[in-house]
Structure 1
Amino acid sequence: MLDWLTTSLMPHLILAPILLPMFTAAVMLLLREEHLRLKVVLNIASTTIGLCIAVALLQWSDEQAGPSAMGVYLAANWKAPFGIVLALDRLSAMMLVLTYCVALAAGMFSIARWHKAGVHFHPLFQFQLMGLSGAFLTADLFNLFVFFEIMLAASYGLLLHGSGRLRVQSGLHYIAINLAASSLFLVGVSMLYGITGTLNMADLAQAIPHVSPADRGLLHTAAAILAIAFLIKAAIWPLNFWLVPAYSAASAPVGALFALMTKVGVYTILRLWTLLFSSEAGDSALFGGQWLTVMGMVTMAYGAFGMLGAQRLTYLAGYAAILSSGTLLAATGFGQNMLTAGLLYYLPSSTLAVAILFMLADIMDRWRNDGSSANDFGDEDAPFLNPELVPTKSLNLDEHEEVLIGRVIPAAAAFLGIVFIMCTLVVTGLPPLSGFIGKFAMLTNLVNPVGLGQSAGYQAGNLGWVLVALLITTGLFALIALTRAGIRHFWATHDRTKPELRVLEGAPIAGLMALCVALTMHAHAVMEFTQNAANALHTPSTYILAVMQQDPVPNPPKEPKPDTAVPAQTAAPAAVLEPLAAPLPTTEKAAP
């Protein structure tokens, strides 16, 4: 099956994650709002098919080696850098799988209640997937801007879905800051094009080492302006003031989907910085790396202190997204492939955990503010053991002098508590789940910076030790904040009924948490995959050769036209044709 895909369908399959949600959204826009069930079916079916395609692309990219590990698709069949190019490698395939996993969970979660809160939820959801997929697959900056705008336009509608004053206020701020980021994007792209004459990423990587010294400062200025646009999306400090209010105001499935938005900024920075400013970039080698590390560490501290001060679960999830983004950016700035492998393992784990937090926040806030009874779970739903077996005169009593031993915990509350604990372990980087493995891999490479196969980059030095301290300290702060929230929601006494948890809400959460467990159980295979992805990132010649040497598909040979000459038996003899071809004789008038 895989061989057949590789030989015949694989070149076109690279385009499928973009075209599939685009056509699905177009079809749903033609349907009236009365056909909501049909839209739900189309949304879930399309996202499921997209996930299967992303997994097939991931498997294909993992089984390739060398330059053939890159899949290049010439959309207009024009050779790079003149035509639109899509490129697939291990990193982009991993981001596609992560995107569709979170999207499928968010789409299922929305069916329980949120998709009815406004119009056009499902078409906007698919357009969001189209923008995300295109951003991960495009190989030139202009089309990256196009997919960014598609993604942002859909996110504006999704953020305002459900209306309300708080959503409108946060949405306006969100729109304003992203319009500013788009303007900076255009300015940076225009300056780069004016200096290098190209916007193809691979062609830019070839051109940057040969930029004249007189234009080198202008090149760095253009790159810095472009980076600001990406860093706004990556929520780096001090450009992240908009994120927590906006994400916390969004509905739960939209907040879970927005957990991917910061990772788009991180992905773009990682892709362009390792490609354009690698150690092979001449005088521009590793430009801005130390600034990226320092600002990433400041972002980590900001996110950790924000979690300590947050009282709402949605705010905790937003600051957890900032903490995750800062960790990834700080590790990226060192330019070490071994450290990059660790951060690539940590990236999906932290994204899944933040998405789960947004979904949990919706259910737990609804549970905390809903209903009242004589005890925590209701008198009729809180049976006790036989009083003869459990003495009533004991120290294990609650505030109402009722026996705690033997009290039945509702299944929904037990499920929420277990998932919250597991999510806390992933976010804080505690064993035994995948968050610990990702942080441990980064700590190992920071403490032992010299290793086999280490790429050229900044030596860890003092900045490395600062990052080590921050990885441990911020994890401790996050643990304190999440533990306090867990005590307030699960242990503190509240007069409320048992939580209402629908299958369509619990199943997506359980699925995402199962992915975190799978990352832990298959840590060796996943780490090997991320190490290969990191090695390819820090060897930009592989990407450049694959894109620039991809030849267009030749046109099929034309069949010869049927012979239209006069048959031999009817052709006039040459003796007859020769006089006809001779020039006409000139006649002169005789003189009178």
Structure 2
Amino acid sequence: MNGWSNHLIVAPILVPLVACAILLVIDERRRVAKAMVSLASTIVLTAIAIILFAIESGPSGFEGVYLVGNWAAPFGIVLVLDGLSAMMLLLTALLAVASLVFSFARWHAVGAHFHSMFQVLLMGVNGAFLTGDLFNLFVFFEVMLAASYGLLLHGSGQLRVKAGLHYIAVNLVAALLFLIGVSLIYGTAGTLNMADLAARIPEMEPDRRMLMEAGAGILGVVFLIKAGMWPLCFWLPTAYSAASAPVAGIFAIMSKLGIYVILRLTMLLFVEGPSAGFGAQVLFYGGMATLIFGIIGVLASQALGRVAGYSVLVSSGTLLMVIGINDGAVSSGALLYLVSSTLTISAFFLLIELVERGQDAGANVLAVTMEAYGDAADEEVPEEQGVTMPGTMAVLGICFAACGILLSGLPPLSGFIAKFAMLSAMMGTGAIGVPPTAAIWSLIVLVILSGIAALISMTRAGIRTFWSSIEGTVPRVLVIEILPVMFLLGLTLALTVQAGPAMQYMDATIRTLSKPSLYIDAVRTAAPTGGDVKSSSSEVESN
């Protein structure tokens, strides 16, 4: 990337930052003006993400390293664009558009500074995806968390405040651990630049490397909390189900931020050299426990919000197990699964509010009680001839069925393609005469069981909601609310149709990640504008 296109790398951070500054000076009573500024910023952000995604084609490696302040690495702040970060930027922008448009119906007006916090959240998430050093990862992580505190509490309510306070407490502890981990890494390695750190680890003395690995382990705990690994995940289903629908919709990307950082650091720092494989078993067995816990939660939950929250854990557990296995072919399918599951869960969170409008707060509990004790069988319900399902319920039902198919991994949508790509890659070792290991078999079984659990849970909830509703009330749904849900589900359909090119992109991205020298060379040789790159590595080593 040269010229103006190279400056686009910093745009996903600057655009929401400028929008937030503008929103803060607009009077809170001018809701329409604030909404238009926020929408314009998010649309521009989406356009930039699409351009960056198109430029970053994957097979060509790293297309952009942006030196903030025009200082060469490792002394200056570095932003790096590759296939993985470009994909995550685009995914974030698409979720942001859907969640923001959904909020225009009513949620953006039930509290102060919704749009400002929304833009700050986008700035933090995008910065975390782009940054090339651990210190700025901490900065963007804190920016994202500060905005998420306000967004989770947006709309008040006792349950939301209680969940929000638990969320704040957990993440404050995570922030403290982040500082401890970064301090240990800097004290032993003398750098926080990811590329420079990756180059130094193989040359470190064993005692210093042990301290560095301890710091990396503490840092890993932080992002495992964000990803929702068991037993660090008990806050997540409650917090996500208590959040307002548009907030939960954009929060779907935040658990994937934890997965992104773990994948990035694992593939960059611990794929080669004496520390190769560091933490792999923790990720595998932790992911297994998370997946099992998520499956149980999905089956046990009656409220749709809890089902969606535990579906986040199922997705995280699957991805953590794949990272722990560290198989390139399986990882390619896992990246497609990451995109598909994130779009699906975000759409599901938005859809839940629309579906539940036609029910009493205790309708689910009452329905389960009637099923358990057979009260429903004692009443004769007169048949109504010629009654058809209302159009609103039909649209909601179709969207609900699509979410169920995607979460279950049934054909023909992208959820099935992603799981099939992972399972076929796992079984591929058997096809060439090498039987899959016990770890591979356990992942295969759990992935299949997670699909069965999602199918049972969604079928049960769908029957109770659409076929045997106690109240039978048709919810009032605005076009501006159902369109974001259809948009996200439409993206999964597009991902299904373009599954071939999508898998090629994922394969190229994993191949690039598997060669950390590409990342290291791209960052360390990036020259400041108007000057030659200095021998930064030798200067640092002399210090």
Q: Among residues 435, 445, 461, which one is paired with 1:469 in the alignment?
A: 445
Summarize the alignment of residues 86-235 of structure 1 with structure 2, pairs less than 5 Å apart.
86-235=79-228
8 Å contact kept, 2:59–2:509: no
Percent identity of equivalent pairs = 49
The separation in 1 between residues aligned to 2:29 and 2:475, in whole angstroms, is 31
What's 2:539 paired with?
none
Structure 1 residues 103, 214: closer, same or farther in 2, change over 3 A? Answer: same
Paired residue for 1:254, among 235, 238, 247? 247
Task: Report which stretch shifted further, 147-156 or 29-38.
Answer: 29-38
> Which 4+ stretches in 1 moved above 4 angstroms?
none
Matches within 5 A, 1:8-23: 8-23=3-18
C-alpha distance after superposition, 1:478-533 (max 9, x if no partner): 11111111111011142333221101101100000000000000000000001100
Question: Among 516, 519, 525, which residue is 2:501 paired with?
Answer: 525
Q: SS at the partner of 2:66?
A: strand
Q: Take 1:303 and 1:546, find their aligned partners in 2: how far apart are those partners?
A: 39
1:201-258 per-position Cα deviation (integer Å, ceiling 9, x unaligned): 0001101111101223222211111100010000000000101111111100001111
Match of 2:104, SS? helix
Q: Which amino acid aligns with 2:31?
A: L
CA distance in 1, matches of 2:242, 2:259: 23
2:32 matches 1:29:
no
Between the aligned partners of 2:94 and 2:59, the Cα distance in structure 1 is 26
Deviation at 1:400, TM superposition (A): 3.3
Matches within 5 A, 1:236-275: 236-275=229-268
Structure 1 equivalent of residue 313 of structure 2:
322
Q: Which of 408, 418, 434 lines up with 1:438 in the alignment?
A: 418
Superposed displacement of residue 399, structure 1 = 5.3
Aligned partners of 2:431 and 2:202: how far apart in 1? Answer: 28
Give the match's secondary structure for 1:80.
Answer: coil
Residue of structure 2 in register with 1:412 after alignment: 392
Which residue of structure 2 lines up, in the alignment, with residue 375 of structure 1? none
1:422 equivalent in alignment to 2:383: no
Q: Normalising by structure 2, report the TM-score.
A: 0.92
Q: What's the counterpart of residue 526 of structure 2? A: 550
Q: Matches of residues 366-515 of structure 1 in structure 2 within 5 Å?
A: 366-369=357-360, 400-403=381-384, 406-449=386-429, 461-515=437-491
**In structure 2, what is the equivalent of residue 331 of structure 1?**
322
Partner of 1:329: helix, strand, or coil? helix
On the 8 A contact 2:359/2:469 being kept in 1, the answer is no
Which SS does the other structure have where 1:499 is aligned?
coil
CA contact (8 A) 1:11 1:73 kept: yes
Distance 1:290 1:125, change over 3 A: same
Deviation track 1:363-413 (CA, whole Å, cap 9, x = no partner) reads 11111139x9xxxxxxxxxxxxxxxxxxxxxxxxx9533245x42221110
The alpha-carbon deviation at position 65 of structure 1 amounts to 4.3
Aligned length: 515
Question: Among 30, 33, 40, which residue is 1:38 paired with?
Answer: 33
1:289 & 1:360 partners in 2: Cα distance? Answer: 36
Q: 1:534 aligns with which of 507, 510, 523?
A: 510
Contact 1:341 1:527 in 2 (8 A): yes
| SS of 2:357 mapped into structure 1 | helix
1:354 is matched with which residue? 345
Q: What is the alpha-carbon distance in structure 2 between the residues aligned to residue 32 and residue 450 of structure 1? A: 64
Contact 2:55 2:63 in 1 (8 A): no
Q: Provide the residue aligned with 2:60 in structure 1.
A: 66
Aligned residue in 1 for 2:367: none
What's the TM-score once normalised by structure 1's chain length? 0.85
CA shift in 2, pair 1:440/1:65, >3 Å: closer
**Is 2:288 the partner of 1:301?**
no
- Deviations along 1:51-92, one digit per CA (max 9) or x if unpaired, are 010000000001x6434x331000111110000000000110
Give SS of 2:65's match: strand
Unaligned runs of 5+ in 1: 1-5, 373-397, 453-458, 557-592
Matching residue's letter, 1:546 = A
CA contact (8 A) 1:70 1:543 kept: no
Larger mean Cα displacement after TM superposition, 520-529 or 215-224 = 215-224
Q: Please tell me whether residue 56 in structure 1 is matched to residue 51 in structure 2.
A: yes
> Once structures 1 and 2 are overlaid, which stretch shifts more, 95-104 or 289-298?
289-298
Which whole-Å CA distance do the structure 1 matches of 2:345 and 2:380 have between them? Answer: 34
After superposition, residues 557-568 of structure 1 pair within 5 angstroms as none
In the alignment, structure 2 segments of 5+ residues that lack a partner are 364-378, 533-543
Cα deviation, 1:245-284, whole Å, max 9, x if unaligned, reads: 1111110000111111100000000001100001x2x210
- In structure 1, the residue matched to 2:541 is none
Kept in 2: contact 1:66–1:542 (CA 8 A): no
Q: Please name the residue that 1:47 is paired with.
A: 42
Q: Distance between the aligned counterparts of 2:341 and 2:461, measured in 1?
A: 19
CA distance in 2, matches of 1:409, 1:331: 43
Q: Which amino acid aligns with 2:138?
A: F
Specify the code of the residue in structure 2 equivalent to 1:98: L
Paired residue secondary structure (1:85): strand
Contact kept in structure 2, 1:209 and 1:283, CA below 8 Å: yes
Larger Rg: 1
Aligned partner of 1:507: which letter?
A: L
Equivalent residue letter for 2:60: G
* Cα displacement string for residues 320-340 of structure 1 (whole angstroms, at most 9, x for unaligned residues): 011101111111111121111
Amino acid at match of 1:501: V
TM-fit CA distance, 1:450: 7.8
Report if aligned partners of 1:96, 1:133 keep a CA contact under 8 Å in 2: yes
Residues 124 and 154 in structure 1, CA contact (< 8 A), matched pair in contact too: yes
Question: How far, CA to CA, are the matches of 1:10 and 1:449 in structure 2?
Answer: 42
Structure 2 CA distance for aligned equivalents of residues 493 and 547 of structure 1:
58
RMSD of aligned alpha carbons: 1.8
AA aligned to 1:254 is V
Equivalent-residue separation in structure 2 for 1:408 and 1:502 (angstroms): 21
CA distance in 1, matches of 2:79, 2:436: 34
